Amino acid sequence: MKIKISLLVCVLFFWVNIFVFAQKGVSSYIDSLNNVLPKSHDTIKVSIHQDLCFAYLPISFEKSFAAIKKSLILSQKIKYWKGEARANDLIGSLYVQSGDYSTGLQYKFNALKIYETQKGVKGVATISNNIGVLYFRKGDYDLALKYYQQAYQIAKALNDENSQAIYCLNMGEVYQMQRKFEKAIEFERKTLQLTKKSETDDNTAYAYGIIGKVFEDKKDWKEAEIYYQKALALFTKLSIDEAIIEYLFYSSRNHLKQNNIKNALELSKKSIEIAKKNNEKTWEKQNYELLADIYAKDNNFMEAFKYQKIYIKLRDSLVTTETQIKTAHLQTIYDSDKKQSQIDILTRDQALQNDKIAFRNLILLVVLIVLISVAILSGLLFRNNRQKQKANLELLLKNEEINQQKEEILSQRDNLQELNEEIYAQKDEIEKINDDIIDSINYAQHIQQAILPVREEMYQIFPQHFILFKPRDIVSGDFYWFEHLKEENITFLAAVDCTGHGVPGAFMSMLSNQLLYEIIISNKIHKPNLILEQLRIEVRRALHQSFSKAKDGMDISLVCIDHQNKKMQFSGAGNPLIYFQNNQLFEIKGDASTIGGTRRDREKEFAIHEIDIDIATTIYLFSDGLQDQFGGERGKKFMYKHLKETLTNLQLIDFETHQNELENILNHWRFGHRNQQKQIDDILMLGAKIS
């Protein structure tokens, strides 16, 4: 049953971490997460707590649950909706794993509501499907179907064929359980069509298996066996042992219904053998019950009784173990909630106590001010009284001379102390100014990130895309630009490299971002070469470059994609376009003409290039940050030629892994040798698959 495992987030805890733990070990991985946690930004802390939830689960349910609760609380505190949605989803999965479906569903619905409010359509689809899985496992097939259909409609709108295949597979299984056989076969055949295009063999195999179960339910044993064998062949090819165990069991049961005792025995025993190797106790139990039925059908009642006893013993053992685990998990959850309640009570008590202390300190301060005022007034009265005394003038003059010498000595000591205090005060002031500057730049980073394109909108147009964006100094002079015009059905995508980096570059990037919007959206200029011409005019006007010596400007690569006519137009200033069709690299260099600056002699008209995209096309737009980065064994630049070779090699692997591979290659280039290098410039690369 594809439905029952692969789409539940709680099971991802095991599969996702198998690879990580195999590489680093559980404890070292947990230690590394805990070490980086205190130094991280709040949004990163949210993700780290979620990673700790994954890491702790195989060894401590209590620590796993505590980690995800921290993630939820911090997400709510900093109003980070993506972290809050994911935390609700994972907490729901932990409740389900503990047997509390009702509470688990509440958290899943919390996650769904957040995604719907924030218009995170891919998240809505994923959570809707997960809720459908829970209703399916509870046997509420109508509600399961409702949420599967909701997920399917979103995947269809996003043209996400892999997700469509999974959701059709799930809907087909619901119809099979409802004995609506024609509908079940219809949706499983849809899955086969979708998987044939995307070559996802595991979904194909599960679709064959469900069709086999439909024919078995219809008592068409021979047709059922044909599809069971198709499923088993694919599962064997993919080495998915759990599925092999499952469909050996179904095939054995199918042979029993045809009175093929020998084949039924052989298949069931083979299923048990693989189940024992993989510690799949549930399937081992079901096979023992099936063996008892087979031997009873063969009138071998001694063997039937033997396997019935083994089945009952294993069943009771599994029920006891499962109950103990779920009870322990629920107790952990209860204790965690209880501790949180106690913490909330203590926090309120502490707040009241702090208010009392603050009030008492205020009273003491008022009393102290009154006493000091009285002392000052008394001193003034005393001084006035002394001034009236004129007796013993000579003695007083001598005393004053002695006192003056004494005061000079004390003054020198006080001046030295004041100088030290002034130095420390200046040091504190400089540190405060530095902290204020860093805080301002960090806030500027939030502003700059806010003007960047919304990734959810980009996913609607480019379901397969990535953005490798690494500012050198918190804020960046590089930025990427995206806009889709629905009426014209055209999409603009740009990679822009403004003069400088850090704060100066960020100012230029924000100016350029706004100018692109005005030119394309407000002025409705849609030809890439004309857009760059107008951008050059607007940059010069904004920076008064007609009479100033300001050299600020930008390099840019800009494409306009016409989805209706399957055409793509490109113009570039400095930056090129690289694209692949049928795994072959094509390159269009940007013009040497500049945007901005004082070099009028280089201001030629921009060229426009048109490319047919009626076949699958992968495009890459980028700044010069990656190819200019120093590193490697000799500490030299990465170079443009090396970048083209890297992108060519990436065509041999799944597009979804391109960003991770590029980051790994960049990190190895910078740090994988003795000459470790600092990042010298902002780095930006966009990749998108157009189909």
- Rounded to whole angstroms, the Cα distance separating 517 from 521 reads 5
Pairing of strands 567-573, 465-470: unpaired
| Three-state DSSP class for residue 39 | helix
For 354-372, how does the pLDDT look when each residue is reduced to its tens digit (9 = 90+)?
A: 554 454 455 445 444 544 5
pLDDT digits (tens, 9 = 90+) for 300-316: 888 877 888 887 877 77
Phi/psi of residue 688, nearest 5 degrees: -145, 145
Select the more confidently predicted residue: 11 or 300.
300
Q: How far apart are the first and last CA of the chain?
A: 31
pLDDT score, position 371: 45
> Side chain identity at 441, as an amino acid letter?
I
pLDDT of residue 21: 41
Three-state SS string over 368-427 comes to HHHHHHHHHHHHHHHHHHHHCCCCCHHHHHHHHHHHHHHHHHHHHHHHHHHHHHHHHHHH
Distance CA 556, CA 554 (A): 6
**What are the φ/ψ torsions at residue 673 (nearest 5 degrees)?**
-135, 175
* The pLDDT value given to residue 407: 66
Q: Name the band, by pLDDT with cuts 50, 70 and 90, for residue 442.
A: confident
Position 295 confidence tier, pLDDT thresholds 50, 70, 90: confident
Higher per-residue confidence, 661 vs 505:
661
Which residue type, as a one-letter code, is found at position 283? Answer: W
Task: Specify whether the CB–CB gap between 43 and 80 falls below 8 A.
Answer: yes
Give yes or no for a contact between 166 and 148, defined as CB atoms under 8 angstroms apart. no
**Chain-centre distance for alpha carbon 270:** 42
Per-residue pLDDT reduced to its tens digit, 67-120:
888 889 998 998 899 889 898 999 888 888 777 878 888 898 998 999 989 888
Q: Are 146 and 166 in contact (CB under 8 A)?
A: no
| 465: its two tokens | 């895309």
Mean pLDDT of 417-430: 70
CA dihedral 392→398→403→409, nearest 10 degrees, is: 180
Q: Which two tokens mark 107?
A: 């958290």
Instruction: Report d(CA 514, CA 375) in Å as an integer.
Output: 64
Exposed e or buried b for every residue in 488-521, given b needs 16+ CB within 10 A?
A: eebbbbbbbbbbbbbbebbbbbbbbbebbeebbe
Nearest to 187, CA basis, from 167, 205, 201: 167
**Cβ neighbours for 243, distance < 8 A, ≥ 6 positions apart:** 202, 205, 206, 209, 231, 235
d(CA 295, CA 306): 10
13 pLDDT tier (thresholds 50, 70, 90): very low
Lowest average pLDDT, out of 247-251, 427-431, 532-536, 681-685, goes to 427-431
CB contact set of 116 (below 8 Å; sequence gap of 6+): 124
Could you tell me which residue, 618 or 161, shows the higher pLDDT?
Answer: 618
Cite the DSSP H helix spans in 218-300: 221-238, 241-257, 261-277, 281-297
pLDDT of residue 350: 52
Which residue type does 212 have? G
* Residue pair 611/619 in contact by the 8 Å Cβ criterion: no
Instruction: Determine the Cα–Cα distance for residues 307 and 204; give it in Å rounded to an integer.
Output: 34
Average pLDDT over residues 408-426: 65
Burial class (CB in 10 A: 0-12, 13-18, 19+), 140: middle
Sign of torsion over alpha carbons 592, 595, 597, 599: positive
The set of long-range contacts for 323-327, using a CB threshold of 8 Å and a minimum separation of 24, is 326/98, 326/99
Structure tokens at 6: 């692969």
Average pLDDT, the chain: 81
CA distance 248 to 272: 9
In the prediction, which pLDDT does 346 show? 46
Distance between CA atoms of residues 72 and 279, nearest Å = 34
Per the structure block, which two tokens stand in for 286?
A: 């079901």
So what's the pLDDT on residue 691?
81
Confidence at 599, pLDDT banded by 50, 70, 90: low
Q: Which residues pair with 617 in a beta bridge?
A: 581, 690
Element (H, E) at 645: helix 640-650
- Encode pLDDT of 603-612 as tens digits: 688 999 999 9
Contacts of 548 (CB under 8 A, 6+ apart): none
